[in-house]
Copies of this chain bind each other. A is one copy, B any other.
Amino acid sequence: MYSREVEALLSKKGIAPGDAIRVSIGSKKFEGTLLPRPEFGDQGVLVLKLKNGYNVGLKLGAGSKIEKLEHAKESFAFPRVKLEKRENLPDVAIVATGGTIESKVDYMTGGVHMLVEPEELLAQVPEILDIANFKLVSPMRIASEDMLYQDWQSIARATAKALSDSHGVIITHGTDTMHYTAAALSFMLNGINGPVVLTGAQRSGDRGSSDAYMNLLCAAHLAAKGNVAEVGVCMHASSSDNYCNFIRGTKVRKMHTTKRDAFRPINGTPIARIDAGGNIEYMGEHRRVQNGKEKLRVESGYEPKVALVKFYPNSDPEIVDFYIGKRYKGIIIEGTGMGHVAVSPSDERYSWLGHIKRAVDAGVVVGMTSQTLNGRVNANVYRNLRLISGAGAIYCEDMLPEVALVKLGWLLGNHKRAEAAKMLNRNIAGEITERTEVDWF
């Protein structure tokens, strides 16, 4: 809802979000589509999507006029942009996979639907065409909660192909599982030579509060000229539109359902911060752009029979046997604190120890992580921890549970069991840091 005054005015004129309208303020006239009320900021300001793709906020005064031009169309379309080669610009590929960034609000139902054409996403940021020459491939167009490992494999192959003649690659992706895909690509793409930048939007581009514009712009700057050869996530760093973070694909997690700065580094610092003007400030150690020194290899094997199991009080340890019975090859446990499960509770049926041992004996690789997310597991401090470790669970250092899951699936898809077990708690793609800095949390 807009403010009461604005709503009353709109209602009098029979105008609703999605309608094409003309607003006259003094001698200035603005034509465009009325967007739904912005969630933050002044709710007395009308937000209009202009025909050039920009959103404009209009404060109505005493002499302002509003006219309705046309009823809302169910299928609001961004204009399509023309991709024309310009000699002096670097090449960037966009691998468009779906998600909110390729979506728009359906003004009839209030829900969100996919755009008709993936190219429409560039129209949300017309000035992006001054940053690079873009080519666009779209191996799939799905909501990220529907992503499977087979999709990760397609994205890995499309990205590797695109990197062969681009400085960098932008992967547009739904935000829900973006960090899982980022982890998968971090392991699957070995020896990349340029930036692989996942980005998306928490709110669709036709809404007043959308983050699509800023995220795409920063991702484009980084993919066009970033001196970094890593996979990472580029999204809003704060709730204001001042800059984005580029966070390593194995150290990032979506930490809020809706906020634009939902993606946070866990157990690490961002690799870089990028502003909309194209300034890139590098912040931590990272791999630089490689010049033909290393050949890009795609190792896209993946064993889907890996499970992430969360421990909690009174959790049923027979869940472990369920996975043994289904011939799973790996289990990552999200334990408490430094990597605990119940070992000697007063009711023996809730002890996990025997079940973990049985899984290990059955050839299942069992890894231990922590549901605290921040910090490092450690098998050596408490007696219970030493018992769990003694049963064969591999303590996964400061690796995120979700990353440990993806890593284990990838390891088992490309290596023999014993080798996979050995590599689980050794760093491959920045997922494990040797020493934890005090000020990360």
Report which of B142, B256, B314, B409 forms a contact with A372, defined as CB distance below 8 A. B256
Contact A336 B438 (CB under 8 A): no
Contact B312 A111 (CB under 8 A): no
Residues from chain B with a CB closer than 8 A to the CB of A149 are 313-314
Residues from chain B with a CB closer than 8 A to the CB of A312 are 177, 180, 308, 402, 405
Q: Which residues of A contact B (CB under 8 A)?
A: 40, 110-113, 140, 142-152, 175-177, 180-181, 239, 254-259, 261-262, 304, 307-316, 318-319, 322, 326, 334-347, 350, 370, 372-378, 380-384, 386, 402, 405, 409, 438, 441
Most-contacted residue by chain B among A152, A256, A384 (CB, 10 A): A256
Q: Which 5 interchain pairs have the tightest Cβ spacing?
A: A257-B375, A145-B340, A176-B336, A176-B337, A256-B374
Contact B374 A338 (CB under 8 A): no
Q: Report the bound CA distance from A345 to B142 in whole Å.
A: 8
Contact B151 A337 (CB under 8 A): no
Residues from chain B with a CB closer than 8 A to the CB of A380 are 110-111
Report which of B175, B310, B314, B326 forms a contact with A310, defined as CB distance below 8 A. B310
Report whether over half of chain A's contact residues are helix, strand or loop; otherwise say mixed: loop
Residues from chain B with a CB closer than 8 A to the CB of A307 are 315-316
Q: Nearest Cβ in chain B — how far from A159, in angstroms?
A: 17
Contact B374 A255 (CB under 8 A): yes
Which chain B residue shows the least CB distance to A406?
B313
Most-contacted residue by chain B among A145, A181, A337, A375 (CB, 10 A): A145
Q: Report the bound CA distance from A375 to B262 in whole Å.
A: 9
Contact A345 B146 (CB under 8 A): yes
Contact A257 B382 (CB under 8 A): no
Instruction: Please state the number of chain copies in the assembly.
Output: 2
Q: Report the bound CA distance from A441 to B256 in whole Å.
A: 8
Chosen A-B contacts, 20 in total, with CB atoms closer than 8 Å, are A111-B380, A111-B383, A112-B383, A144-B336, A145-B342, A146-B343, A146-B346, A148-B342, A176-B340, A256-B375, A256-B441, A257-B337, A257-B338, A257-B372, A257-B374, A258-B375, A262-B372, A262-B375, A307-B315, A312-B402
Known: A337-B145, A337-B254. A382 touches B111 (CB 8 A): yes
List 14 extra interface pairs beyond A152-B313, A256-B372, A258-B378, CB under 8 A: A111-B381, A112-B382, A143-B343, A145-B341, A145-B342, A148-B342, A180-B313, A256-B441, A257-B378, A259-B375, A259-B441, A262-B372, A262-B374, A309-B310
Contact B316 A254 (CB under 8 A): no
Known: A257-B375, A372-B255, A374-B257. A438 touches B150 (CB 8 A): no
Known: A112-B382, A402-B312. A336 touches B374 (CB 8 A): no
Q: Nearest Cβ in chain B — how far from A41, in angstroms?
A: 11
Known: A257-B372, A257-B378, A326-B316. A150 touches B346 (CB 8 A): yes
Q: Nearest Cβ in chain B — how far from A98, in angstroms?
A: 12
Q: Report the bound CA distance from A409 to B405 in whole Å.
A: 28
Report which of B147, B336, B347, B402 forms a contact with A150, defined as CB distance below 8 A. B347
Contact B111 A143 (CB under 8 A): no
Residues from chain B with a CB closer than 8 A to the CB of A255 are 372-374, 441
Contact A308 B319 (CB under 8 A): no
Report which of B146, B257, B261, B339 forms a contact with A342, defined as CB distance below 8 A. B146
